[in-house]
């Protein structure tokens, strides 16, 4: 299954790690539906305006490196535009 997932999606991450991250962020998203501030990744502002293009070098430097290898944020509740 991991090989099939990699082949069909082009994913290059470890499938178990990627699935764990996806579930954590999904659970965090459900928590944001409650009347309290977002936390973790969901509290972060945009990182990319398009695939693999950071919004700025400053944003790239400020984004946690452990998340940067797994995530690109294109839409965020923390962004001033929303």
pLDDT of 67 over the 90 cut:
yes
pLDDT of 82 over the 50 cut:
no
Q: In terms of Cα–Cα distance, which of 70, 66, 72 is closest to 54?
A: 72
pTM exceeds cut of 0.75: no
Q: How far apart are CA 82 and CA 78, in angstroms?
A: 8
pLDDT of 75 over the 50 cut:
yes
pLDDT given at position 72:
95
Q: How far apart are CA 50 and CA 2, in angstroms?
A: 26
């Amino acid at each position: 299954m991991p090989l099939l997932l990699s082949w069909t999606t082009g994913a290059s991450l470890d499938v178990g790690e990627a699935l764990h991250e996806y579930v954590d962020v999904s659970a965090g998203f459900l928590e944001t539906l409650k009347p309290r501030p977002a936390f973790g990744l969901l509290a972060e502002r945009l990182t990319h305006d398009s695939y693999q293009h950071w919004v700025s070098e400053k944003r790239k430097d400020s984004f946690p490196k452990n998340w940067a290898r797994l995530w690109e944020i294109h839409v965020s509740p923390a962004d001033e535009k929303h």
